[in-house]
Amino acid sequence: MELKTKGNLETFFEAHKVAVIGSFKEEWTGGYGVIKNLLNFGFSGHIYPINPSYSEVLGMTVYPTVNHVVDGIELAIVITPSQIVPTVIEQCARKGIKAAIIVSDGFAETSREGAELQQHVVSIAHDAGLRIIGPNTIGITNTATGLVTTPYFTGYNRIQRGAVAYASQTGIVGAQALPLEDHAYPISKICDFGNKCDINEIDLLEYLADDPETKVIAMHLEDIKDSRRFIDIARRVVADKPILILKPGRSQAAAKAVASHTGSLAGVDQIYDSAFRQAGIVRLDTWQEFLDIPKVFASQQLLTDNRLAIVTVSGAAGIMAIDSAVDNGLTVAQLSSSTIDKLAKISPRLANNPADIGQVAPFIDNFHQALESVIATVLADDGVDCAVLILWAALAAEVLGTSDVFRRLKQQVSKPMAIWIYGPKLSAKEELTRQLEAIGLPTYLNLETAAKALGIAASYAKFKSRLEHH
């Protein structure tokens, strides 16, 4: 088998013949959990369970070792005690397997002995041209094939296919930790690279740069192995796809904890800050932003400028949206007199930016029709580049009516939008969020994040256009 990319990451993500090597005791956390998730998420490839002590698991034949499998195997998922990982990896190498995810922990993250064991595994793999993700990882997800390698309970079985790739040094990015179905994040790939004994952020970045499913790359990085090279590559990738990075360890106390968590030095934070900025990498501040902001790039077209319209069910929220917009580099659009006239025809009190549709709601016959007209009208204005939309959802009819509005708007309008929904029932908010995300509209838990997402999108667009004019 030829290595298609330097990091061999296609073999990982596109694998269709997958061995799961571990315990098949019927509980979450072992090989049983991995297979259960592969089945639950509808993995389209073939699974080969491997364990000398079992003959069957979940209706499948279990093979004593990978060498007992007649077919070729593309990817091994290893979730055995750390002590036997070297033997397992030797067997994988002998079988000609070129990619292994070592889920097992007990390596460099725990002790000096663990670090030595990890080094031993790496040398076996290196000699055989076998690439490793991990150890100490929940592995990867490919929404196109249902490849979900976490061994833990998720409680759902559907992840929305989309254009955001998440890469991370933590398992909290996995299906067992994030409500991927409930939030309907549009995801292409997820990778937790764990201890990064082999595959690291540079390999991932190169792979994701070429991945046609991925339009935006979000990375959580506690340390960067070769920061100069990473920045060089990122600079090239950014011309084509936005890169958003959450890099904790800003404070000295956190940097110290990173060192003990990953066994690596976090580096001087200000240096990263300026290197990221120069390379056009967006630096995110919080975990919630890491989850929420990338999707604005996945579903919305690129911004042309930073002039924002706000359509809101609450006047007070409209004002808060302005503050957040200005904080994040957007300006409040000046509506043209023709737009003002059109809005005034719907209601004189709407002829503003923010257009406060809440205050006129009691006086209009068809609220949803008016909402649609107002949004379409402000976004048709040549002086408007994007919109924050503030909605209310409580009744099932409200949810349905609102998602219908946006289904129709998506046919007419291509300028970027970001949505915040408030309301008295979480279930209604969440249902409307899922419906709008499914239509391809980024919908946010917080008003401020909605405005920030568009602000970041505008800054990226400006950076990219400067690159193109050089």
Nearer to its own copies, 238 or 374 (CB): 374
Q: Which of 242, 196, 292 is nearest to 461 (CA)?
A: 242
**Nearest approach, Cβ of 253 to its own copies (angstroms)?**
4
Rounded to an integer, what distance in angstroms lies between the CA atom of residue 222 and that of residue 169? 7
Nearer to its own copies, 95 or 452 (CB): 452
Rounded to an integer, what distance in angstroms lies between the CA atom of residue 21 and that of residue 49? 6
Asked whether 349 and 271 are in contact (CB, 8 A), the reply is no
Nearer to its own copies, 8 or 168 (CB): 168
- DSSP conformational letter for 312: E
Nearer to its own copies, 108 or 124 (CB): 108
Nearer to its own copies, 30 or 162 (CB): 30
**Nearest approach, Cβ of 287 to its own copies (angstroms)?**
6
**Nearest approach, Cβ of 353 to its own copies (angstroms)?**
9
**Nearest approach, Cβ of 181 to its own copies (angstroms)?**
8
Asked whether 280 and 238 are in contact (CB, 8 A), the reply is yes
**Nearest approach, Cβ of 220 to its own copies (angstroms)?**
7
**Nearest approach, Cβ of 425 to its own copies (angstroms)?**
5
Strands, E assignment, 169-295: 187-192, 216-220, 243-246, 282-284
Q: Which of 139, 272, 290 is nearest to 216 (CA)?
A: 290
How many angstroms from the chain centroid is the CA of residue 117?
32
Three-class SS of residue 416?
coil
Nearer to its own copies, 143 or 176 (CB): 176
**Nearest approach, Cβ of 5 to its own copies (angstroms)?**
26
Nearer to its own copies, 144 or 326 (CB): 326
Asked whether 374 and 355 are in contact (CB, 8 A), the reply is yes
Three-class SS of residue 36?
helix
The end-to-end CA distance of the chain, in Å, is 41
Residue type for position 354: P
